Amino acid sequence: MDFHEVYNNHQKLVWNLISRFVFTKEDREDLFQDVFIKIHKALPKFKGESKIETWIYRITINTGINYAKKQQRQRFLGDLLRKSGIVRDKEEDISQKVETGNSLLKPLESLNPKQRMIILLAEVQEMNLVEIAEHMKIPVGTVKSNLHRAKEILKKEVIIDE
């Protein structure tokens, strides 16, 4: 299968998912590139045992969660360095980086990467629990509990925002 064909046919699918998952233009573009670099690398090994969409979703989900975890670690380290006075306070809080007009995404910040991905797959992509479990390679029970927890957190955040 040709990479350009895969890119042209699935660019919007990937973009739609990651644009709600990360909050700034730079992060979206970085993550988008990371996803397609992984696709480019893995494409020769794709045997067509699953649907190409499923395969692309899987790569996007894994890359997205890893990207967000890495960001969290960097933010934690940055905060630590700032608090200890090693680095000057730059106030680069992610909440300030969320694009204007996208305050809608702000409540999603309070979720951890896995919960955020699960709620987006369940509510925006309208996948059922089994599909999400398959895509994320985790048990259905884990999906269910994470979705429940994510909804609880979001409810509080949405109420606060309103």
Residue 18, classified by CB atoms within 10 Å of its CB into exposed (0-12), middle (13-18) or buried (19+), is buried
Measure CA of the first residue to CA of the last residue in the chain; give whole Å: 48
Do you know the residue count of the chain? 162
Q: Which stretch binds other proteins (CB under 8 A): 24-32, 56-64, 71-79, 140-148?
A: 24-32
Number of residues in contact with other proteins under rule CB under 8 A: 27
Instruction: Report if residue 45 touches other proteins, rule: CB under 8 A.
Output: no
Distance (Å, rounded) from C-alpha 63 to C-alpha 28?
12
Q: 81 CB contacts (<8 Å, ≥6 apart)?
A: 87
Q: 32 or 55, CB closer to other proteins?
A: 32
Buried b (16+ CB within 10 A) or exposed e, 59-68: bbbbbbbebb
Instruction: Report if residue 19 touches other proteins, rule: CB under 8 A.
Output: yes
Smallest gap from Cβ 27 to other proteins, in A, equals 12
Instruction: Report if residue 24 touches other proteins, rule: CB under 8 A.
Output: no
Distance (Å, rounded) from C-alpha 2 to C-alpha 10?
12
Q: Which stretch binds other proteins (CB under 8 A): 28-36, 58-66, 67-75, 87-95?
A: 28-36
Q: 123 or 134, CB closer to other proteins?
A: 123
Q: Which of 1, 5, 29, 76 binds other proteins (CB under 8 A)?
A: 29
Report the alpha-carbon angle 7-11-15, nearest 5: 150
Instruction: Report if residue 72 touches other proteins, rule: CB under 8 A.
Output: no
Q: Where are the alpha helices (DSSP H) in 22-139?
A: 25-42, 52-83, 94-97, 113-119, 129-136
Contacts of other proteins in 77-116 (CB under 8 A)? 102, 104-105, 107
Which spans of this chain sit near other proteins (rule: CB under 8 A)? 4, 7, 11-12, 15-16, 19-20, 25, 28-29, 32-33, 36-37, 40-41, 102, 104-105, 107, 123-124, 151, 154-155, 158
